[in-house]
Structure 1
Amino acid sequence: MLIATAFVLMMTVPALALFYGGMSRSKSVLNMMMMSYVAAAIVGILYVAIGWSMGFGGDGTIFANPFELLWLDGVSTGDYIFVMFQMTFAIITAALISGAVADRLKFSAWVVFVPLWAVIVYFPMAHMVFSCTDDSLICGRIGAQDYAGGTAVHINAGVAALVLVVLLGKRIGWPKEQMRPHNLTLTMLGAGLLWMGWYGFNVGSIVFGDDPETQFPLETGRTFATTTLATMAAIIGWLVVERLLHKKATSLGAASGIVAGLVAITPATGAVNLSGAVAIGLIAGGVCAWAVGLKYKLGYDDSLDVVGVHLVGGIIGTILIGVFSTSEGAGGIDGLVYGGGFGSLGDQTLGALVAVAYSGVLTLVIGLAIKYTIGLRLDEEDEVNGIDLAEHGETAYDLHTSASGGGKSVLAASTVSPAPVGKPSTEGANA
């Protein structure tokens, strides 16, 4: 569990930071990475202070008493590893949102948004999903399965991302101006590290089983295998659809397919068998490859395709449990394919809808409060010049050239355009 926890923390810093950073423009990459690092710092401390208590402190339909286990008072040091493990889930959920608001969200607004969102939205959602008491809403009352966070993590973050991009508005020049990823090598590296870290995310979740002596070996093998196969299948599904739509199979598509598959298998990894995992991965990869283009049709500027990958992928993985789960899995429920009828499918759909509604309404309240107090968006001039320079006073690439042999330095990072990477890969996770 120490290793699993470290792996999940690695998913945010540096994996997600690299993944998002490479997809950003050169004048925004440091800010994009900083949003992940700062989210880790803020949410981590908040989780130990009140988050664990709100999520796992006791019974409650929406959340538990935030002061019952304040600063882990009453929690044995032997249980600290469980706290740290769940803390890393809270961290990456908040950090995922940042990809949607690249280039234009004020850093001060992010610093205010993250703790408010964690306390009001994530901690209660974690209680509804992971603290599976009779009173907890999604797991207990509805009965929806969510092995490692399809609702609490991915649907939750995806909906929040959609709300924020609507409140922020479009980036200057979008969609007419092509805003290509500035460094796909970083993105590919980040995707690989995310895949590696996800074994901590999914396989580490076996600690919550009721019968460790018999369940741990079974669940370890199943979750490791289903996580692996779904991700492989999603790469194929994404690239096939990308090829059909855009006549190219891109590296950005492969990296995005990795994440789509991991997102979709997260809620289902303990519930499905190997063929079910492959089916979920193929469906998620293909549908998410198509869904990232919806922003152009619907007009919302999701910079790095958080909505198309995490919201859509999270919904797919959550609902398809009702189709592909088996009674031999963690939940002991046969899905539609295995003769279980529509009951589980209904529960999973309702669980997803509750997650969408809860996150959407409360994120809107938080976003509006910030917008009409300190403001959400950068000034136009700062956005054009680059958020790295405006908010942090630095640039990622300090490129020097000599002027007439005089040794004059020219800072070019904020003005150099990235080399074209192929027509389909105009930005984010594909047009």
Structure 2
Amino acid sequence: MDQGNTAFLLIAAALVLLMTPGLAFFYGGLVKAKSVISMMMLSFGAMGLIGVLWVVYGYAIAFPGSEGLIAPWTIDWSAIGLESLLEVPEGAAYPPLAFVAFQATFAIITVALVSGAIADRAKFGAWMIFAALWATIVYFPVASWVFNFGLADDGSFAYGGWITYGMQEAFGVGAIDFAGGTAVHINAGAAALALALVLGKRVGFQKGAHVPHNPPFVLLGAGLLWFGWFGFNAGSELAADGTAAVAFVNTIAAPAAALLAWLVVEKIKDGKPTSVGAASGAVAGLVAITPACASLTPIWAIVLGVIAGAVCALAIDLKFKLGFDDSLDVVGIHLVGGLIGTLYLGFFANGTGLIYSGNATQLMVQAIAAFSVLLYSFILAYVIGFAINKTIGFRVKNEDEIAGIDTAVHGEKGYELETV
């Protein structure tokens, strides 16, 4: 066992887990003061729930072994509860449970991302039911499509999910998604759009009606997300090597460029660059570089960041033009940013992109992967959300929403102000 790579993977897992509290701060600062506890609890609820489900059966669905390519719903029954993974196989680079832990943190953050679309108006219990069902029938299978792979005894490729390896057999080139542009960001963004449509608009929804109550929280959350994202991207190499270093550098370059691009667009469009814009731009760049971090030169990563920052800064206004209330811009940042990063590889991926190969096959498989996940997640998230809304109800009462739902849902206040 390689102790260096094992330590690298465990540290990366810890970094990715930190992203969910970071997301809680990022989202919490964006809502009104009387909803901050509710908003942050959606992320912490996902940490508890998905952490348990992953151990019980999530890993067994996401990584079923050789059947994952042909039948992605196959469950590795021996992995239920993870007892079969306690021993370290001879010659393994790291303990199986280190990989289990790393992938658990991906599952947690993906589910938590969806919650941003339903800020200020969702019941906590309904959210937890949705999170359990969506993780089970959407995230765990999609993770298998993207991340499930195995090697033969001689080190050659043996099996894998249909997105990254199945299309390689069909078209000669597989879709590239190094750290989860499809499985995490497009997946979560599509589900967020579905839930925004199911729950409907907030009371008084219009441009400028809902302003962030705590921009410093937003900046703190973005900083924690960026810090954790190094584990997300570089850790996906599963080894401390040159590829991990490329992913690490690109995780600096792309969000830095996206931050600047977002601020420029804000300045041109609204007259002032904002702190929330800086934080959002960085996150947009992080989203876009996720699938591409190991397949681009640093210069092309900067170009990707500029495109993602500028386009996402404009995309967040789509909700006002199209009439859906994606409260915290999960669609505008994660769905749009994920699509940009995934499709960008079709043009600029080292060796196989259109500008290198003169062949559009890479672009084709990237598009198939992106839109397959988008449609799968959107349809099932809408069905799950609609069923919950029609049975137990997904949305709080209007009077609770107007007053702020922290007290109504959790019996707490984010800020206990006393007058002397």
TM norm. shorter chain > 0.5: yes
CA contact (8 A) 1:63 1:128 kept: no
Give the structure 2 partner of residue 225 of structure 1. Answer: 249
Sort the Cα spacing of 1:340 and 1:62 in 2 relative to 1 into closer, same or farther, 3 A: farther
Q: Does 1:292 align with 2:302?
A: no
Q: Does 1:41 align with 2:41?
A: no
What does 1:12-161 align with in structure 2 at a 5 Å threshold? 12-13=20-21, 15-58=22-65, 59-60=67-68, 61-65=71-75, 67-77=77-87, 78-132=95-149, 134=159, 136-142=161-167, 143-161=174-192
CA contact (8 A) 1:168 1:376 kept: yes
Give the structure 2 partner of residue 413 of structure 1. Answer: none
Sort the Cα spacing of 1:52 and 1:191 in 2 relative to 1 into closer, same or farther, 3 A: same
Instruction: Give, in whole Å, the separation in 1 of the partners of 2:244 and 2:190.
Output: 30
SS in structure 1 opposite 2:391? coil
- Aligned mate of 1:377, from 383, 391, 395: 395
Q: Cα deviations across residues 210-246 of structure 1 (Å, max 9, x unaligned)?
A: xx6xxx4211210111111001111111111111211
Give the structure 2 partner of residue 406 of structure 1. Answer: none
Q: Cα deviations across residues 282-309 of structure 1 (Å, max 9, x unaligned)?
A: 1100000000000000000111101000
Moved more, 61-70 or 43-52: 61-70
Give the structure 1 partner of residue 344 of structure 2. Answer: 320
Instruction: Give, in whole Å, the separation in 1 of the partners of 2:208 and 2:314.
Output: 21
SS in structure 1 opposite 2:78? coil
Q: Where does the alignment leave 5 or more consecutive residues of structure 1 unmatched?
A: 328-333, 403-431
Instruction: Give, in whole Å, the separation in 1 of the partners of 2:143 and 2:361.
Output: 23
Root-mean-square deviation (CA, aligned residues, Å) is: 1.3
Moved more, 234-243 or 4-13: 234-243
Sort the Cα spacing of 1:176 and 1:247 in 2 relative to 1 into closer, same or farther, 3 A: closer
Instruction: Give, in whole Å, the separation in 2 of the partners of 1:156 and 1:9.
Output: 19
The residue type paired with residue 282 of structure 1 is: V
CA contact (8 A) 1:276 1:325 kept: no
Sort the Cα spacing of 1:124 and 1:356 in 2 relative to 1 into closer, same or farther, 3 A: same
The residue type paired with residue 16 of structure 1 is: L
Cα offset, 1:62, TM superposition: 2.6
Instruction: Give, in whole Å, the separation in 2 of the partners of 1:322 and 1:311.
Output: 17
Instruction: Give, in whole Å, the separation in 2 of the partners of 1:290 and 1:31.
Output: 28
Cα offset, 1:386, TM superposition: 1.1
Q: Cα deviations across residues 10-62 of structure 1 (Å, max 9, x unaligned)?
A: 0002x111111111100100011111111000001100111111111222343
Cα offset, 1:64, TM superposition: 3.1
Q: Does 1:11 align with 2:29?
A: no
Instruction: Give, in whole Å, the separation in 1 of the partners of 2:260 and 2:414.
Output: 33
Instruction: Give, in whole Å, the separation in 2 of the partners of 1:24 and 1:186.
Output: 10
% identity of equivalent residues? 51
The residue type paired with residue 189 of structure 2 is: G
Give the structure 2 partner of residue 398 of structure 1. Answer: 416
| Structure with more helix by fraction | 2
Cα offset, 1:107, TM superposition: 0.9
SS in structure 2 opposite 1:74? helix
Give the structure 1 partner of residue 384 of structure 2. Answer: 366
SS in structure 2 opposite 1:257? helix
Give the structure 2 partner of residue 235 of structure 1. Answer: 259
Cα offset, 1:177, TM superposition: 6.3
Sort the Cα spacing of 1:176 and 1:312 in 2 relative to 1 into closer, same or farther, 3 A: closer
The residue type paired with residue 248 of structure 2 is: F
CA contact (8 A) 1:51 1:66 kept: no
Sort the Cα spacing of 1:176 and 1:92 in 2 relative to 1 into closer, same or farther, 3 A: closer
Cα offset, 1:76, TM superposition: 3.0
Instruction: Give, in whole Å, the separation in 2 of the partners of 1:264 and 1:128.
Output: 20
Q: Where does the alignment leave 5 or more consecutive residues of structure 2 unmatched?
A: 1-8, 88-94, 151-158, 168-173
- Aligned mate of 1:253, from 261, 277, 281: 277
Give the structure 2 partner of residue 411 of structure 1. Answer: none
Give the structure 2 partner of residue 339 of structure 1. Answer: 357
Q: How many residues align?
A: 388
CA contact (8 A) 2:207 2:320 kept: no
Cα offset, 1:68, TM superposition: 3.5
Sort the Cα spacing of 1:170 and 1:150 in 2 relative to 1 into closer, same or farther, 3 A: same
Instruction: Give, in whole Å, the separation in 2 of the partners of 1:24 and 1:338.
Output: 44
Instruction: Give, in whole Å, the separation in 2 of the partners of 1:278 and 1:341.
Output: 23
What does 1:147-186 align with in structure 2 at a 5 Å threshold? 147-175=178-206, 178-186=209-217
